[in-house]
Structure formats: structure tokens, C-alpha cells
Amino acid sequence: MRRVRGYVAFLALMLSGIGVVTLARIWRAGRTSRPEPADAIIVFGAAIWDTGPSATLRLRTMRGAELYARGLAPVVVCSGGTSGGLSEPRLMADLMIAQGVPTSALMLDEAGVTTRATIASLRGLGGGKWRRILAVSSPFHLFRIVEEARRHGITALPCPTRRPPSRGFRATLRLLCWDARQYARETVAVWAYRRPLKRLAAQFHARWRAFTGEVDAVRQSSVEIWALIRARQVPGESETAALPRLDWPVSGRMTSRFAMRRGRLHEGIDIRASHGTPVHPALGGVVLLAGELAGYGRVVVIGHSASYATVYAHLERIDVAEGDRVEPERPLGASGSTGRSFGPHLHFEVRFDGTAVDPLVFLEDPDRERAFTRRAELYGD
């Protein structure tokens, strides 16, 4: 528990560190203004309310018209999606015309729903010739535009909009809150835009799915194992006798216990073991099953008495056959990652009359650090 808290604290610290650095870069990009000659002026869209174009949208068109009037580029692209059923680019174009930009210099990009889409459509709009553009948007938005344009081989010169000074304390405070929200959102957006991070998130998600998925997949096979043990286990004479202590089947760190995982029971324990690590029977017995099951992958089941059996799943290799008498000294196979498993590990179960019970109750010296050393001493794994 304490270790988990440590990890969380470390992660939080890392994330806030990255967040602050990103925020600083967004802030700096928004404070840079480079109105220099370019191939085109791109004005990024903003919302249109019931009451008309938002202040943000008006400020952006004003800046775009101003840059055009200064003769910095021959074309103005109005980019955006729709808000409330109205086309942002069309309304922006109207505002541009009202501010003296000739229709012939205007281009509409109605597919510019997102920053990424807008930048991607520049190639088509400029016939692949645009290399330098003037990006007109709100200060907080420019860092992401510059980064995204660079990925497309286009230099975006930031031209942030400027807000007229606000009057009164309350108005200032409201604007400050609005800004804080925009910057926070943008910090997240910058990271969500980065492909390596997206890939990393996808990988993590896949791993997590595989990890929790083990329980689901294993469940089906678990029922088969239950039936199989009940069918094959030969009734013995002393069923009241307690099971002798079990040896740890493999040397490694226990990564998962016999416990509920996402509302379902994880019916064994997972012990991390690299590919090819020898796996030993936890106790002498007869091999009831040596084969393959969907969730368990290559699996060995050993019957120890009329009631007790142990299960070894996700094996890479099986070195015993059904009906063999086995002893803990000789490996039954090697650990791996077959079946529904992420990364090599041994899924180990103890079954009583076919039903899985907590292996830690039976394992010799459940204090695992010492137990594993013992395993290694005994068999030299």
C-alpha cells in the first residue's frame, strides 16, 4: 500500500512537472508575434453563439484582416467547422469582407473542424506550395498550431490575437478564469496530439486489457479443469488428511494473488518467471492433464490425492505426459506466456475437489522472499 502511494506521488509529480513545462511553452508561443511576409494567412475558427459570433471569432478575423491590409500575404484562409448550424468560415469571410478584404483573396476551409484537420488541408488549399503561413488564433492555441504545422513541413508564424483591455475588477476576474480554463485544456490537448504518447497510451491500455482479460479467458478453461479433475482424480483412502505443505513451483516474485480482479475471482497466484524458467511440481503426484486450454495456454494438472490437485498454466514447454508420476525434484516444464497472458509468468492454482482455493494457504513459507530463495536453494533454479 505504501509503495503504491509512493508510485502515485511520483507519477503526480512527474505529470505536474511535464504540465508546467508544457504550459510555459504554450504561454511563450502565445506571447511571440511574427507578422512577416508569408504564403497565406490562416485564421482559425471559433464559436458562433445564438447572439452572434463569439468575441474570440471577431478578434481573430480582425487580426487576419489587419495582416492582409499590411500586405503580408496574398490570401486569407477562413477555417473552421459549424457552430449551432452555422458555418464558421462563411461568417468569418463576411466579417473579413466588411473589414476590407476582397472576396478574391478569401478562401474557405469548412473542413477545418480541428487544428489537425486545418493544417492537413493546407496542402490541398495551397497546391502543395505553401511553406510559410501566418497563423492567426488566440494566444493559448498557437503552440499547438506551430507544432502541428512543423510536422507537415510548414513554418507557421504565430500571430496571436490581442484582447482590448478589460474594464472593472469583475470583468478582469472573469477573463482570468476563462484564460486559466483555456490554458489548462490546451496543455492536455498538446499532449493528446502527440503520437508517441498516443501509442504509449494504446499500449498501456492493451496491456491492462490483457491483464484483466486473463480472468475472463481463464474462467472458461477453469470450468473444464474442474470437470477434468473430478473425472480423473482417483478416490483415495484418507480424504480427511490435510494436504502436506507445498513447495513454491518456481522462483520469482508473486505479481498477483488469489483475489477478486475487476469483480471476478483470480483463481490462482501469478508468479513472474522469465521464459524457460524450470517449473517444478509443488508436491509429488500423478499428471492428470498435460495439454493446451484456451485461457491457460500450455497447462499441467497434477493430482496429489483424491481431492487435491495443482495447476500450472501459461507454460512454454511441457516435459511430462498424462499418467506420469512426478516428484518436486524434477521440473514438469518451463514457464512462458502461452494462452491469455501478458509477459511470461506462472499461473499457479490449488484445487480441492476441482474448486480453486487460495494457494498461499498451502504453500511452504508464504513469506515469499524467503520461499523463493528456498526454492532456488533446493533445485538450483
Shortest CB 323 distance to Zn ion, Å? 26
Where does this chain touch Zn ion (CB under 5 A) — which range of 86-94, 176-184, 304-312, 344-352? 344-352
Shortest CB 214 distance to Zn ion, Å? 5
Q: In the window 18-57, what residues touch Zn ion (CB under 5 A)?
A: none
Which residues, in sequence order, are CB contacts of 230 under 8 Å at separation 6+? 353, 354
Give the Cα separation of 248 and 365 in Å (integer). 9
Q: In the window 206-265, what residues touch Zn ion (CB under 5 A)?
A: none
Give the Cα separation of 18 and 12 in Å (integer). 10
Number of residues in contact with Zn ion, rule: CB under 5 A? 2
**The C-alpha cell that represents 91 in the structure block:** 461568417
Q: Report strand pairing: 40-44 vs 76-79.
A: parallel
Shortest CB 225 distance to Zn ion, Å? 13
Q: In the window 266-325, what residues touch Zn ion (CB under 5 A)?
A: 270
Shortest CB 163 distance to Zn ion, Å? 58
Nearer Cβ to Zn ion, position 24 or 259? 259
Shortest CB 345 distance to Zn ion, Å? 7
Q: In the window 257-276, what residues touch Zn ion (CB under 5 A)?
A: 270
- Integer-rounded Cα Rg, in Å, for the chain is 33
Based on the shown chain and the rule CB under 5 A, indicate whether residue 347 belongs to the binding site for Zn ion. Answer: yes
How does DSSP classify residue 336? B
Nearer Cβ to Zn ion, position 39 or 270? 270
Shortest CB 117 distance to Zn ion, Å? 44
Number of residues in the chain: 381
Nearer Cβ to Zn ion, position 141 or 347? 347
Judge contact between 183 and 140, C-beta under 8 A.
Answer: yes
Shortest CB 351 distance to Zn ion, Å? 14
Nearer Cβ to Zn ion, position 109 or 270? 270
Give the Cα separation of 144 and 138 in Å (integer). 11
Where does this chain touch Zn ion (CB under 5 A) — which range of 110-118, 221-229, 319-327, 341-349? 341-349
Based on the shown chain and the rule CB under 5 A, indicate whether residue 349 belongs to the binding site for Zn ion. Answer: no
Nearer Cβ to Zn ion, position 199 or 219? 219
Closest by CA to 27, choosing from 192, 184, 189, 196, is 184
Give the Cα separation of 270 and 346 in Å (integer). 6
Q: Could you give the count of Cα atoms lying within 13 Å of 369 in the half-sphere of its Cβ?
A: 0
**The C-alpha cell that represents 370 in the structure block:** 524467503
Nearer Cβ to Zn ion, position 60 or 347? 347
Which residues, in sequence order, are CB contacts of 22 under 8 Å at separation 6+? 187, 190, 191
Helix (H, G, I), strand (E, B) or coil at 302: strand
Q: Which residue is nearest to Zn ion (CB)?
A: 347
For binding to Zn ion (CB under 5 A), which residues are involved?
270, 347
